[in-house]
Amino acid sequence: MTSDIIICVDDERSILEGLNQQLNRAFGDSFLFEFAQSGEEALELIEELNKEGMRIAFLVTDQMMTGMNGNELIKKVETVSPQTKCILLTGYAESEIIEGLSNSNLLGCLPKPWESASLIALIQSGIGHS
């Protein structure tokens, strides 16, 4: 059993359920999966997992959420979990979203609705660099 984790963050439960299905189908037991419905909840989860010595390999987050948006979350994750690679899901123009995200932990930005194969490929590309 691995201690590598993928955290998915979205304020819509149906999106989290879809991510759970896609990631489980693609990666099965290769990762543990955690889910949060806000940036704040995700940061609390990251803090808990860090204390337990768990490694957060990837964070998949929506851009537009109540409270903290995806950009803000990614910037905070870079500070508290610098090894975590991030993927941003958005229904908005990519150039507007990734502006100001010049950090090294952003793997990519996918438009909503995303192609499952694109998400899986992005995570696979980050596995060697995580």
Per-residue pLDDT of the chain (130 residues; tens, 9 = 90+): 457 999 999 999 999 999 999 999 999 999 999 999 999 999 999 999 999 999 999 999 999 999 999 989 999 999 999 999 999 998 765 555 555 555 668 888 898 899 999 999 999 999 875 4
Domain residue ranges of the chain, discontinuous segments joined by +? 4-127
What's the 3-state SS for the chain? CCCEEEEEECCCHHHHHHHHHHHHHHHHHHCEEEEECCHHHHHHHHHHHHHCCCEEEEEEEECCCCCCCHHHHHHHHHHHCCCCEEEEEECCCHHHHHCCCCCCCEEEEEECCCCHHHHHHHHHHHHCCC
CATH label, 4-127, candidates 3.40.640.10, 3.40.50.2300, 1.10.15.40, 3.40.50.2000? 3.40.50.2300
For residue 33, the cross-strand partners are 6
